[in-house]
């Protein structure tokens, strides 16, 4: 049971847009930065979004992040088959004093 809640799966057609939600609480998302990670099949996770909505160098602007209250959202536009992966949200939890992640969302590009 993950501290942060994500939908298990989302899907959309190539070229379309998809959003992935991440729900938490006042002890984590509301009072800390949220980051998002992409895990392509058989590889390690890679940072996609940090500090709620910033992209590391090399991450295309098709990927975006936002946060409101105790929830965060990852948006991906212009979907490509290469975007098929697991996506995880993460942050710090002040009550647990632990890093916390969502359970992950599998993106299928139909």
The candidate with the shortest Cα–Cα distance to 30, out of 8, 3, 61, is: 3
Which CB sits closer to other proteins, 1 or 81?
1
Which CB sits closer to other proteins, 83 or 90?
90
| Least distance CB 34 / other proteins (angstroms) | 7
| Least distance CB 103 / other proteins (angstroms) | 5
Residue found by looking up tokens 């099949």 in the block:
41
Gap between the Cα atoms of 14 and 2, Å rounded: 30
Using the 8-state DSSP alphabet, how is residue 1 labeled? Answer: -
Which CB sits closer to other proteins, 100 or 109?
100
| Least distance CB 52 / other proteins (angstroms) | 9
Beta bridge partners of residue 65, listed in sequence order: 74
The candidate with the shortest Cα–Cα distance to 45, out of 102, 7, 110, 109, is: 102
Point out which residues bind other proteins (CB under 8 A). 2, 32-35, 37, 43-47, 50-51, 56, 88, 90-92, 96-104
Which CB sits closer to other proteins, 47 or 110?
47
């Amino acid at each position: 049971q993950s501290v942060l809640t994500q939908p298990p799966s989302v899907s959309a057609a190539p070229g379309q847009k998809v959003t992935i939600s991440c729900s938490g609480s006042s002890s984590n998302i509301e009072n800390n930065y949220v980051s998002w990670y992409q895990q392509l099949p058989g590889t390690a996770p890679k940072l996609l979004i940090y500090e709620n909505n910033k992209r590391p160098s090399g991450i295309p602007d098709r990927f975006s992040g936002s946060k409101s209250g105790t929830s965060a959202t990852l948006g991906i536009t212009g979907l490509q088959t290469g975007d098929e992966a697991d996506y995880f949200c993460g942050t710090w939890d002040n009550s647990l004093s632990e890093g916390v992640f969502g359970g992950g969302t599998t993106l299928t590009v139909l």
